[in-house]
């Protein structure tokens, strides 16, 4: 039998809690929901423990944690750790034709072909059609891959719902019918007062917008618009006669902070809205529709895919295959996780089913305390920092985190990359910020083009 194709939707900045697939109040993903309702497996508790984009994709496309990839920062310099093989490299070695659309990053190494599309813009340039732009280059590529006579791996990096949130008509009004310019509404004032991001927001927020719920509705509309465009690609699979032999996976590199924790409309902060990501997979003929509540991480994707596709390797993954669980077997639970971020702040921590410990490695531009502790059971919104009231818990979780770091440093023979990536912010000579004032007055996004450049600093064209 011909080896199965792989269609991989890597959807940037997709918060699972805003997908109807995960019970969101708005019907944002009806086509994905319907597609997965027939043989799809949905993992309800997947996290991206190392954010943002560069470490997130590095983990999902290598099966390694941040110690294994040596990647923790958005502006990562250099390649993934020596000896690490990417999913594209493995599949190409198995005779696959491999194509990557819209992604150039250390984790994207090894594809035969790279295709770019326009995925940025501003309100001045008009409402955006990012997903349609992706489809315009992907549909003919799917036709080519169908003719090539080889199994294929097609990776699609969707830039919906990544900011700027500018879904086209009529989507922009599908979840909002209020007055976004109501002068009595002051909910966006703290966003406009935040100097590091203010100039960027002004390029895509409507002039005079005052209502945070309008911006959140635009994020949701971006998801709904992308969902329609994804249906076009699923239909193309059917038309080309590929659906019965194509594995399809949906996931994201990280979630999104909307009006949460003062990390407005971005993806930094080690809070649940940023860590939680969707993960769903469909193996035609192998899987039945089910939901799995076992905790998992992005490092589990590659070993799960290869196992399900019948491809064996000698790679010692940090992640594990979830296919035994899909087939009804029990698997060891991994309910605790080391969490990291080098986006706009440099922090790490330890996450358990009940507790979330966050420790700053240098002062941050939100002036947050050095230590944060949240009771995820009694305070799922992470609204109350209880570190001062629970010093024993802070000490215990810190000890577990440091023991994990020491163990992984010994296993990899490298220092924790959270300690060595001192140029993570891309400013000056590098090195830690000495104060929150310094961080606040240094970090800045000017406009969408500046945001594009910041995103691309860690990316290299292949």
Instruction: Give the per-residue pLDDT at 352.
Output: 98
Taking each helix axis from N to C end, the angle separating 448-456 and 195-202, rounded to the nearest 10 degrees, works out to: 120
Instruction: Give burial (CB, 10 Å; 0-12/13-18/19+) of 363.
Output: buried
Instruction: Give the per-residue pLDDT at 49.
Output: 98
* H or E element in which residue 153 lies: strand 152-158
* H or E element in which residue 338 lies: strand 337-342
Q: Which residue, 299, 265, 260, is CA-closest to 279?
A: 299
Q: Which domains does the chain have, with CATH numbers?
A: 5-335 (3.40.720.10), 337-451 (3.30.1120.10)
Instruction: Give the per-residue pLDDT at 290.
Output: 96
- Cβ distance 185 to 211 under 8 Å? yes
DSSP state of 154: E
Structure tokens at 93: 């070695």
- Cβ distance 153 to 8 under 8 Å? yes
| Separation CA 169–CA 158 (nearest Å) | 19
Along the 462 residues of the chain, how does pLDDT read in single tens digits?
689 999 999 999 999 999 999 999 999 999 999 999 999 999 999 999 999 999 999 999 999 999 999 999 998 888 999 999 999 999 999 999 999 999 888 889 999 999 999 988 888 888 999 999 999 999 999 999 999 999 999 999 999 999 999 999 999 999 999 999 999 999 999 999 999 999 999 999 999 999 999 999 999 999 999 999 999 999 999 999 999 999 999 999 999 999 989 999 999 999 999 999 999 999 998 889 999 999 999 999 999 999 999 999 999 999 999 999 999 998 888 999 999 999 999 999 999 999 999 999 999 999 999 999 999 999 999 999 999 999 999 999 999 999 999 999 999 999 999 999 999 998 877 789 999 999 999 998 866 666 556 545 434 433
Q: In which order are the strands placed within the sheet that holds 337-342?
A: 50-51, 337-342, 346-351, 355-360, 371-375
Instruction: Give the per-residue pLDDT at 460.
Output: 42
Instruction: Give the per-residue pLDDT at 207.
Output: 92
78 SS3 class: coil
| Separation CA 419–CA 192 (nearest Å) | 33
Q: Which residue, 263, 273, 260, 279, is CA-closest to 59?
A: 279
Instruction: Give the per-residue pLDDT at 453.
Output: 60
Residues 6 or more apart whose Cβ sits within 8 Å of residue 5: 145, 151, 152, 153, 154, 242, 245, 246, 247
């Amino acid at each position: 039998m011909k080896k199965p194709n792989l269609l991989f939707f890597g959807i940037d900045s997709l918060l699972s809690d805003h997908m109807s697939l995960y019970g969101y109040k708005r019907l944002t993903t009806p086509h994905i929901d319907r597609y997965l309702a027939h043989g799809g497996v949905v993992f309800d508790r997947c996290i991206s423990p190392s954010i943002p984009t560069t470490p997130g994709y590095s983990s999902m496309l290598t099966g390694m944690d941040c110690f294994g990839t040596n990647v923790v920062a958005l502006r990562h310099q250099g390649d993934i750790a020596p000896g690490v093989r990417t999913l594209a490299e493995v599949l190409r070695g198995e005779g696959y034709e491999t194509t990557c659309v819209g992604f150039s990053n250390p984790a994207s190494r090894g594809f035969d072909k790279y295709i770019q599309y326009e995925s940025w813009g501003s309100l001045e340039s008009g409402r955006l059609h990012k997903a349609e732009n992706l489809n315009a280059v992907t549909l003919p590529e799917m036709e080519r891959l169908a003719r090539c006579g080889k199994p294929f791996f097609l990776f699609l990096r969707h830039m919906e719902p990544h900011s700027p949130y500018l879904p086209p008509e009529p989507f922009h009004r599908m979840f909002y019918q209020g007055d976004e310019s109501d002068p009595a509404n002051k909910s966006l004032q703290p966003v406009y007062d935040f100097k590091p991001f203010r100039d960027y927001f002004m390029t895509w927020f409507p002039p005079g917008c005052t209502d945070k719920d309008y911006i959140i509705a635009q994020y949701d509309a971006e998801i709904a618009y992308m969902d329609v465009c994804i249906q076009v690609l699923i239909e193309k699979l059917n038309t080309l006669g590929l659906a019965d032999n194509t594995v399809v996976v949906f996931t994201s590199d990280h979630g999104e902070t909307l009006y949460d924790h003062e990390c407005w409309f971005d993806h930094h902060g080690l809070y649940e809205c940023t860590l939680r990501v969707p993960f769903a997979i469909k193996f035609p003929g192998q899987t039945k529709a089910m939901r799995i509540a076992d905790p998992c991480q992005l490092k589990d994707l590659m070993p799960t895919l290869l196992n399900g596709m019948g491809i064996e390797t000698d790679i010692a993954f940090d992640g594990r295959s979830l296919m035994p669980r899909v087939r009804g077997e029990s698997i060891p639970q991994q309910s605790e996780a080391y969490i990291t971020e080098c986006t706009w702040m440099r922090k790490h921590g330890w996450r358990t089913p009940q507790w979330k410990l966050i420790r700053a490695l240098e002062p941050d531009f939100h002036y947050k305390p050095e230590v944060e502790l949240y009771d995820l059971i009694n305070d799922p919104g992470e609204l109350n920092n209880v570190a001062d009231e629970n010093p024993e818990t802070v000490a215990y979780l810190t000890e577990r985190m440091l023991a994990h770091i020491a163990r992984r440093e010994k296993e990899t023979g490298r220092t924790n990359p959270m300690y060595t990536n001192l140029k993570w912010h891309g400013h000056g000579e590098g090195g830690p910020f000495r104060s929150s004032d310094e961080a606040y007055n240094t970090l800045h996004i000017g406009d969408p083009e500046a945001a594009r450049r910041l995103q691309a600093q860690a990316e290299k064209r292949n």
